[in-house]
Amino acid sequence: MIDTKIGLTQLLTTLNAWGIIISPELAATALTHSSYAYENDTDSNERLEFLGDAVLELVVSERLFRTYPTESEGELTRRRSKLVCEPALAYSAQRLQLGSALRLGRGEEAQGGRNRSALLADAVEALLGAVYLTGGLAAAQLFIEHLLDPYFSGQFEAGIDYKTTLQEKLQADGHGDIKYQLLRSEGPAHARQFTVGLFVDGIFRTQGTGSNKKEAEQEAAKKLLQKLSK
């Protein structure tokens, strides 16, 4: 059984490093799935998710409005839909390692709920709602800037899971053994960089770097996809 208190402590430490202060109690509620709430007679994160969803759309819409002053409503809408979609939010949850902090009921835990994209995306929205309640719009904007930085900076294209896309392509081409191996980690604890190697059928193909192993793996998969498309 995962000790979610450890995951919560790590999450709060990350948020503090971003300049965001939130009470442990409110953060815990934001990470409480309805299955856990039902079994333990406590509040779930559904109301916070409702609030966070609205805040997310507002903040991302303003960010895109200011960043792309010449784009039409339709173009901005398409950009926004990619940033607030389930894959983008689920990947952001993985970067925050939210899975280890989620409070799940026994059934949801047994079914692998910690890795379910929909559940992770909902938790991100709920956490955003908690951040907004605590620090207002400025805190919410700061949270989203950090959370979606790989997309805002162009490091990743929103809505694409490069690892899954690569796996499907390689398997279709007859390659079955795809592995990611940590090559090195460098830097201080609060700004560590991880480098991961990507091996296909035992042969090194490329490597990626990121602020955590999952981010580095996505970067490596993206690089190989780009090579294969040439």
Residue pair 114/2 in contact by the 8 Å Cβ criterion: yes
Q: What range defines the domain where residue 210 resides?
A: 162-228
Q: Which element (helix H / strand E) includes 63?
A: helix 46-67
What is the reported pLDDT for 65? Answer: 95
> For this structure, is 43 an active site residue?
no
Residue-wise pLDDT tens digits, 60-108: 999 999 999 999 998 888 888 888 887 888 888 988 889 899 999 998 8
- Residue 46 shares a structural domain with residue 117: yes
**Is a pLDDT exceeding 80 seen at residue 10?**
yes
Residues 108 and 205 in one domain: no
Return the pLDDT at 162: 78
Of the candidates 125, 215, 217, 219, the residue annotated as catalytic is 125
More confidently predicted of 93 and 117 = 93
Exposure string of 148-157, with b = 16+ CB inside 10 Å and e = fewer, is: bebbbeeebe
Instruction: Say whether pLDDT at 215 is over 70.
Output: yes
**Domain count within the chain:** 2
Is residue 157 in some structural domain?
Answer: no
For 216, residues 6+ apart whose C-beta sits below 8 A from its C-beta are: 194, 195, 196, 207, 208, 209, 210
Give me the mean pLDDT over the 147-173 stretch.
75
User: What pTM does this model have?
Assistant: 0.69
What is the domain-level CATH number for residue 200? 3.30.160.20
Give dist(CA 53, CA 76) in Å, integer.
18
Domain contains 134: yes
What is the number of residues in the chain? 230
Q: Which member of 53, 108, 217, 219 is catalytic?
A: 53
Is 177 catalytic? The answer is no
Q: What is the mean pLDDT of the chain?
A: 88
